[in-house]
């Protein structure tokens, strides 16, 4: 498990020798982003370092149960001289003011997106890793840091959510091996599954129903698309982050090869999520539209009215699976 290269060695050295770290994840944070953010902050603190966790976006309801989540800060100015980004595919999606990147002495970029071009001063990018949480685990081991049950729970949340609880194509033997170690360190699997996958607000259950009712299926059942307007959110009393997981219902239809979820955001832009069973590389569709992601899960933002965005995505899916 412990193969490390030159970039990683440099990063380990910096984390050992330096102090005063600010760790930040991507905007619209998911389980891997938040779990990695909190775990790395905790590991550095266990080493006696000053470390603050920053995320300017609201923590989605399901992740408000993560240990130490209340310690996440939203400062207006750079919270420390040394900036570490986790799970951030590109600099535009970092959940801190853009100027922080140039203001910091250096930036360490730890990520697992194949589309990451290495915006950091130091980069640890492993596209073969199922989750950034796996990289944080390896890093913690190399640093001989103490894994508290809280850190273990955050890392298990990171790996579990990015692998679809160990069910997606990116899941490897290493994912299971690390998860086993985390359980030994005190991570609670049943509690995590209940908190993150089962228990939900009524507003979310209503939004799932609305989304499923409105789902469009085309290309002889090979493509499925769910569109959620501002009115849908208002009617259900739901927040934007409560869309997480709804796209899986579209992707999981047995004939579907590519699925999309469009949501009209409060900012007036349309956030697009894409999923596939793995035979279609949806990150290619996302990158053409200025976004990114992985083979089976990717996303992008369209600065268009909702109807125009629907047309764009529908055409992109049709083109991808060559149907008319």
Interface with ligand AMP (CB under 6 A): 30, 89-90, 93, 273, 291-294, 297-301
Q: Cα 318 from chain centroid?
A: 27
Minimum gap (Å) between residue 175 Cβ and Mn ion: 12
Q: Exactly one of 8, 22, 30, 101 binds Mn ion (CB under 5 A); which one?
A: 30
Minimum gap (Å) between residue 165 Cβ and Mn ion: 14
CA–CA separation, 318 vs 321, rounded Å?
5
Q: Angle, to 10 degrees, between the axis of helix 132-142 and the axis of helix 173-184?
A: 60
Minimum gap (Å) between residue 39 Cβ and Mn ion: 13
Phi and psi for 296 in degrees, rounded to 5? -95, -10
Picked from Mn ion, ligand AMP, none, the partner binding residue 299 (CB below 5 to 8 A depending on kind) is ligand AMP
Residue 87 as a binder of Mn ion (CB under 5 A): the answer is yes
Residue 162 as a binder of Mn ion (CB under 5 A): the answer is yes
Q: Exactly one of 22, 24, 28, 33 binds Mn ion (CB under 5 A); which one?
A: 33
Minimum gap (Å) between residue 314 Cβ and Mn ion: 26
Phi and psi for 35 in degrees, rounded to 5? -60, -45
The token pair at 314 is: 């529908």
> Residue 15, Cβ neighbours under 10 Å: how many?
25
Picked from ligand AMP, Mn ion, none, the partner binding residue 93 (CB below 5 to 8 A depending on kind) is ligand AMP
Q: Which is nearer to ligand AMP, 9 or 308 (CB)?
A: 308
Picked from Mn ion, ligand AMP, none, the partner binding residue 291 (CB below 5 to 8 A depending on kind) is ligand AMP
Residue 256, CB-side half-sphere exposure with 13 Å CA sphere: 24
Residue 111 as a binder of Mn ion (CB under 5 A): the answer is no
Query: Maximum CA pair distance of the chain?
Result: 60
Q: Which is nearer to ligand AMP, 233 or 300 (CB)?
A: 300
123-142: contacts with Mn ion (CB under 5 A):
132
CA–CA separation, 247 vs 30, rounded Å?
14
Name the DSSP class of 181: H
Contact (Cβ atoms closer than 8 angstroms) between residue 218 and residue 318: yes
Q: Which is nearer to Mn ion, 132 or 160 (CB)?
A: 132
Minimum gap (Å) between residue 248 Cβ and Mn ion: 15
Count Cβ atoms within 10 A of the Cβ of residue 161 and give its class: 0-12 exposed, 13-18 middle, 19 or more buried: buried
Which residues contribute to the site for Mn ion (CB under 5 A)? 30, 32-33, 87, 132, 162
């Amino acid at each position: 498990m412990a193969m490390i290269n030159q970039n990683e060695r440099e990063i380990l050295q910096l984390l050992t020798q330096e102090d005063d770290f600010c760790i930040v994840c991507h905007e619209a944070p998911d389980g891997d982003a938040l779990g990695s953010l909190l775990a790395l902050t905790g590991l550095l603190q266990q080493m006696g370092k000053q470390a603050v966790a920053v995320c300017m976006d609201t923590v989605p309801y399901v992740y408000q149960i993560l240990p130490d989540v209340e310690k996440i800060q939203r400062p207006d100015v750079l919270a420390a001289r040394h900036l570490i980004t986790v799970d951030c595919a590109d600099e535009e999606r970092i959940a801190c003011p853009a100027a922080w990147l140039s203001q910091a002495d250096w930036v360490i970029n730890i990520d697992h997106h194949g589309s990451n071009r290495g915006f950091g001063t130091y980069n640890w990018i492993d596209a073969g890793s199922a989750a950034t949480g796996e990289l944080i685990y390896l890093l913690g081991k190399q640093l001989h840091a103490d894994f508290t049950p809280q850190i273990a729970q955050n890392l298990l949340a990171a790996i579990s959510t990015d692998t679809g609880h160990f069910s997606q194509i990116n899941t490897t033997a290493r994912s299971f091996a690390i998860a086993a170690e985390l359980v030994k360190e005190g991570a609670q699997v049943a509690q995590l599954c209940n908190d993150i996958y089962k228990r939900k607000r009524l507003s979310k259950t209503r939004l799932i129903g609305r989304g499923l009712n409105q789902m469009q299926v085309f290309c002889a059942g090979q493509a499925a698309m769910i569109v959620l307007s501002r009115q849908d959110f208002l009617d259900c009393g739901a927040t934007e982050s409560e869309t997480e997981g709804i796209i899986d219902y579209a992707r999981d239809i047995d004939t579907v090869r590519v699925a999309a979820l469009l949501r009209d955001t409060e900012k007036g832009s349309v956030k697009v999520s894409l999923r596939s069973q793995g035979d279609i590389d949806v990150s290619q569709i996302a990158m053409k539209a200025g976004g990114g992601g992985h083979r089976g899960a990717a996303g992008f933002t369209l600065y268009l009215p909702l109807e125009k965005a629907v047309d764009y995505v529908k055409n992109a899916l049709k083109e991808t699976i060559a149907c008319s």
